[in-house]
Amino acid sequence: MSELIPRPSGKITPFNAPEGFSRSEGKALQRRQNTEVANGLITAARVQAAGYVAATGMHLTGMLSREAQFQSDGDSRTSERLNYIADSFAEYAAWEVRRFQR
């Protein structure tokens, strides 16, 4: 099994566990450490993806809101309709960000 966590001793051996560990205990420890490192990498990727989706959603929502204001040209009825579209997009973007929390 390859090691995800480099060992501080610098030795390159298949069995590099703390003193007092049997070979099977050492391998079990190594598997658990590798699992935790993999889980950490997955979590970090999900956080980065959620941040990217949130930033993009906020940027596009701002653009849609400004465009709605420009297109309505002071007409309150048109403004309500266009703001509904911009708000619907903002809701969808928020839903996409919430999906990363699962």
Whether this model's pTM surpasses 0.85 = no
Written as one letter, the residue type at 100 is F
pLDDT value for 90: 96
> Taking 60 as the threshold, does the pLDDT of residue 31 lie above it?
yes
Q: Please report the pLDDT score of residue 61 as a whole number.
A: 96
Q: What is the pLDDT of residue 12?
A: 45
Grade residue 27 by pLDDT with cuts at 50, 70 and 90: confident
pLDDT tens string 74-102: 899 999 999 999 999 999 999 999 998 76
Torsion sign over Cα 76, 78, 79, 80: positive
